Amino acid sequence: MSRYRGPRLKVIRRLKNLPGLTGKTSNPGETRIAADQSASRKISQFCVRLEAKQRLRFNYGLTERQLLRYVRIARKTKGSTGQVPLQLLEMRLDNIIFHSGMTSTIPAARQLVNHRHILVNDRIVDVPSYRCKPKDIITVRNRPTSYNGLRSGINESSRGDEIPDHLTFSLLEGNRPKGLVNRIANRESIDLNINELLVVEYYSRKA
């Protein structure tokens, strides 16, 4: 299954708010109607697991194959099988850029990376899935075209309360944004309302 490129509001009406996909939120009235409709019919455990998997996939902008690969990696890694995929996703370069406040969505961050506007430790990286490590420094190339996709009104003081504690954001000379990875992300710093164990259960027959 390819990466979703359709209407984003249609997705969040069904799956509720997804901060990585879009900054827009679903209409409370529509959410209430959807909840009433769900309550009126019996929902199978498969549907519950499917919805959790879809929330994770759409929020991070993954293909089905990519998400399955992360779950398979988690099964071979020490630690919680549910939390390891989330940690791997949080340490992706496109997600680090998004959480550092340089872009308003993960798709916008992915576009910056694909167009070779992002530096990791002063080297160009054009792979959005690049796995960042502690002490990595992420900056934007010092040229005018590299600033086109950046979030408007980037301000160091206004971003302080929004940035997860495993990252640090600052501004270099000329308001050039800089992100620093302090450590591996933990579950508490992940701003997504999801039961990750449901995702693992969904893939239990595939992984």
For the chain, residues with pLDDT lower than 70 are 1-8, 23-41, 144-149, 151-161, 206-207
Q: What per-residue confidence (pLDDT) applies to 29? A: 54
pTM of the entire predicted model: 0.82
Q: What per-residue confidence (pLDDT) applies to 120? A: 97
- Ramachandran sector of residue 80 (left: φ over 0; alpha: ψ -120 to 50; beta: rest): beta
CATH superfamily of 8-88+192-202: Ribosomal protein S4/S9, N-terminal domain (1.10.1050.10)
Coil, strand or helix: which one is 175? coil
Q: Does domain 92-181 have CATH number 2.60.40.4070?
A: no
Q: What per-residue confidence (pLDDT) applies to 16? A: 79
Q: What per-residue confidence (pLDDT) applies to 46? A: 87
Q: In 117-175, at which residue ranges do the beta strands (DSSP E only) sit?
A: 118-120, 123-124, 137-140, 167-172
Q: What per-residue confidence (pLDDT) applies to 33? A: 47
Q: Are 166 and 189 in contact (CB under 8 A)?
A: yes
Q: What per-residue confidence (pLDDT) applies to 160? A: 47
